[in-house]
Structure 1
Amino acid sequence: MIDVILLEDEPVLRQELGEFLDEEGYRATRTASLAEFEQQFQAHRHHLAVIDIGLPDGSGLQLIQRLRQSGHPLGIVIFSARGTTADRINGLDIGADHYLSKGCDLEELAATLAALARRLELRSQHAQWSLEVGPRRLRVPAGASVPLSQQDMLVLHCLMENAGNNVSRDCIVQALGADYLNYDQRRLDTQMRRLRRKVEEASGQSLPVKTLRNSGYCFHARARIVL
């Protein structure tokens, strides 16, 4: 899983972007100021950054300039409400790899980060996740064990047996033994949020499941199923 550090001072947008990055399969560190960024940034761990430039304690452009002068091989995307041609040119000249307006679709942000990750030859971690069907348990890389409900187990079984592939909502609902046409889709969304939270709280790791907008999910790490 690729680590991204996010710098955004507006709380609601920071929460939205952080959740979006998690759903896209990144591990997102959220920061709200230059001081917090400097405190949380780890050069050996963070390989991508999404940075706002209008911040309460200074300019994100100065931060980017310092990062470049320090020689950090960091992929940087400016995500700013300032969208004039002059702003974009200035940001790219300072050292950003890409400059996006906050009015853009978040799918454009996802595509930009994916392209930047490919160019930098970044790879997600390939540690293996194991689903133990009998005891209804998820084994997280590094050994943590997460107990699962029957519903959680069925959802993960469907996703992990198709690891790396997109799995439709229809397939997941069928795995739950329900009729897709009569199934309340909000139940699946709620279950996935609870499952993500359960894994995070039990193991400290993010569940490697990417949300496919209005279509399904994808388990994007190595997986095995133990009957």
Structure 2
Amino acid sequence: MKILLIEDEPELQKSIEQYLEMEGNIVEISPDFHHAQEKISIYDYDCILIDITLPNGSGLDLLKEIKLKKSKAGIIIISAKHSLDDKVNGLDLGADDYLPKPFHLSELNSRIKALIRRKSFDGNLEISINEIKILPNERRVLIHNQDIILTSKEYDLLLYFISNKNRVVSKSALAEHLWGDNSDRLDNFDFIYNHVKNLRKKLLEKKCEDYLQTIYGIGYNFKTQE
């Protein structure tokens, strides 16, 4: 999962980043309003965490810009402000959740997972596509009810394909989703091919249908009819 954290407190930044990365996510940081503006104008995210009070601007104004962009990202406001007006304004502007500081990192993580389930998988704790079953809370995948061992990147790749099933996904979108900002420094997308190849091989070894179609020169399509 690719997450943007818009937060200006360095210690809180670090603790959230480390915790969410240990949970297998890619976390990018924006410490102020203008940096966050640039990020949301260029990149796509699964979830955006926004503090209301930021250097050079308001998180609520960023929320408006995200909604104007028609982003599909889930949005959680994390703020030390406790007024009812801030919460109501944030939710009215399109935020999906509001978590006041201070909070436990485990609660933030649970809310992110629940939000992604609601937005991408109708809130299901279990995602089933024909013979494929995914248990997101456990980062576990079963094929024909048998466990399949995937690397962290292979798991993220499979989940991304399934959340975008029957749609063509470009190699650049996959690179950005799996590597975040670091994808800009890559010379080519050979690593995407290798991860897809390894994922497909593991799925086929478990007698899974070959849903992955290569769209030459563009990317891939996880083609399935449930």
Residue 65 of structure 1 corresponds to: 64
Note the C-alpha offset of 1:31.
Answer: 1.1
- Which structure has the larger Rg? 1
* C-alpha distance in structure 2 between counterparts of 1:43 and 1:73, whole Å: 14
User: Taking CA–CA contacts closer than 8 Å with sequence separation of 6 or more, which of the two structures ends up with the larger relative contact order?
Assistant: 1
Q: AA paired with 2:103?
A: C
Note the C-alpha offset of 1:104.
Answer: 2.0
Equivalent positions of 1:1-227 (< 5 A) are 2-41=1-40, 45-121=44-120, 128-129=150-151
Partners of 1:43 and 1:72 within 8 A in 2:
no
Note the C-alpha offset of 1:42.
Answer: 6.4
Residue 158 of structure 1 corresponds to: none
* C-alpha distance in structure 1 between counterparts of 2:18 and 2:98, whole Å: 21
Note the C-alpha offset of 1:4.
Answer: 0.3
Structure 1 residue runs without a partner (length 5+): 131-139, 142-199, 206-221
* C-alpha distance in structure 1 between counterparts of 2:43 and 2:32, whole Å: 21
Note the C-alpha offset of 1:103.
Answer: 1.5
Runs of at least 4 residues of structure 1 off by over 6 A?
Answer: 122-127
* C-alpha distance in structure 1 between counterparts of 2:54 and 2:93, whole Å: 17
| Identity of matched residues, % | 32
* C-alpha distance in structure 2 between counterparts of 1:24 and 1:83, whole Å: 28
Partners of 2:40 and 2:66 within 8 A in 1:
no
* C-alpha distance in structure 2 between counterparts of 1:44 and 1:54, whole Å: 22
Count of residue pairs brought into register by the alignment: 137
SS of 2:120's partner is coil
Note the C-alpha offset of 1:43.
Answer: 6.3
- Quick one: structure 1 residues 90 and 45, their matched pair in 2 at CA, closer, same or farther if it must change by over 3 Å? closer
- Quick one: structure 1 residues 43 and 118, their matched pair in 2 at CA, closer, same or farther if it must change by over 3 Å? farther
SS of 1:30's partner is strand
* C-alpha distance in structure 1 between counterparts of 2:50 and 2:58, whole Å: 10
- Quick one: structure 1 residues 30 and 115, their matched pair in 2 at CA, closer, same or farther if it must change by over 3 Å? same
Q: AA paired with 1:8?
A: E
* C-alpha distance in structure 2 between counterparts of 1:44 and 1:30, whole Å: 13
Note the C-alpha offset of 1:129.
Answer: 3.1
SS of 1:83's partner is coil
Q: AA paired with 2:45?
A: H
Note the C-alpha offset of 1:39.
Answer: 2.5
Note the C-alpha offset of 1:128.
Answer: 4.4
TM-score by length of 1: 0.53
Structure 2 residue runs without a partner (length 5+): 122-126, 128-135, 142-148, 155-178, 184-198, 203-226
Q: AA paired with 2:78?
A: F
